[in-house]
Amino acid sequence: MEGSLDTKPRWERRKDARPEELLAAAVDLFVERGFASTRLEDVARRAGVSKGTLYLYYENKEELFKAVVRNSIVRALGEAEDSIAGFDGHSADLLRILIHGWWQRLGATKASGIIKLVMAEAGNFPELAQFYREEVIDRGTKMISSMLERAVASGEFRPVDVNMVTQVIIAPMLMLVTWRHSVAPCNGSELDPMVFLDTFLDLTLRGLLPADNPHRTSSA
């Protein structure tokens, strides 16, 4: 029964897999070496193909990088948006879910290195900076802002400066990423991400929720 679902010749099945294989190799190297210092030939070799093959799937280095971003960060953003849309409960719990989901889907994965990389190198590659701003920053910011607005409007959260709080929420995630990829490797220091995020959540929710709200503790 399963075999009947895939009647393609082997090389065609390979072709379907290629983009994924190339992206996998690309994330690894981009994270290891940064955008500028990653050689496409190395990406190709790590994916087990020749340099030319890479160009069958991605127009150039920047497009490859965009694909990596779309395949990790943008995808996770979409999933987060979906989980917001489908969520039916208190916004405090939604915020907890988002932050934890971010950690599991991005923060803890190799892809988080991409976030650090963009912070480090976007300045030198204006087209990438624009792409990242449009497809990640703007969209992510909007997602959190509108969630906050809804929560404020419904009275779940106290009236706050939504844009400011959005920044406050994003900050510790970037912090964690910086830590993992820049500080820890230089430093050997430890920082338990879950403890850090939960501390942050408790603190922030204490500020966002109206007084004496039972959602204050994560055990709620």
Instruction: Please give the residue ranges that form the binding site for a second copy (CB under 8 A).
Output: 32-34, 36-37, 116-124, 129, 132-133, 137, 141, 164, 167, 170-171, 174-175, 178-179, 181-183, 185-187, 189-191
Contacted entry of a second copy, DNA, none for residue 158, CB cut-off 5 to 8 Å set by kind:
none
**Phi-psi category of 211—alpha, beta or left, where left has phi over 0 and alpha has psi -120 to 50?**
beta
Return the SS3 of 112.
helix
Under rule CB under 7 A, residue 39 binds DNA: yes
Under rule CB under 7 A, residue 127 binds DNA: no
Which of 24, 46, 57, 87 binds DNA (CB under 7 A)? It is 57
Q: Which stretch binds DNA (CB under 7 A): 41-49, 97-105, 139-147, 192-200?
A: 41-49
Nearer to DNA by C-beta: 57 or 87? 57
Q: Which stretch binds DNA (CB under 7 A): 51-59, 90-98, 111-119, 149-157?
A: 51-59
Question: What letter represents residue 36's amino acid?
Answer: A
Binders in 15-34 for DNA, by CB under 7 A: 15, 18
Nearer to DNA by C-beta: 64 or 165? 64
Contacted entry of a second copy, DNA, none for residue 179, CB cut-off 5 to 8 Å set by kind:
a second copy
Q: Are 25 and 68 in contact (CB under 8 A)?
A: no
Q: Report phi then psi at 109, rounded to 5.
A: -95, 170
What tokens appear for 193 in the block? 């991400």
Query: Residue 70 and residue 136: Cα distance in Å, rounded?
Result: 9
Upper half-sphere CA count for residue 42 (Cβ side, 13 Å): 13
Nearer to DNA by C-beta: 37 or 83? 37
Return the SS3 of 63.
helix
Under rule CB under 7 A, residue 124 binds DNA: no
**Alpha carbon 150 to chain centroid, angstroms:** 23
Query: Residue 220 and residue 5: Cα distance in Å, rounded?
Result: 46
Q: Are 195 and 73 in contact (CB under 8 A)?
A: no
Under rule CB under 7 A, residue 52 binds DNA: yes
Binding site for DNA (CB under 7 A): 9-12, 14-15, 18, 37-41, 44, 49-53, 55-57, 59-62
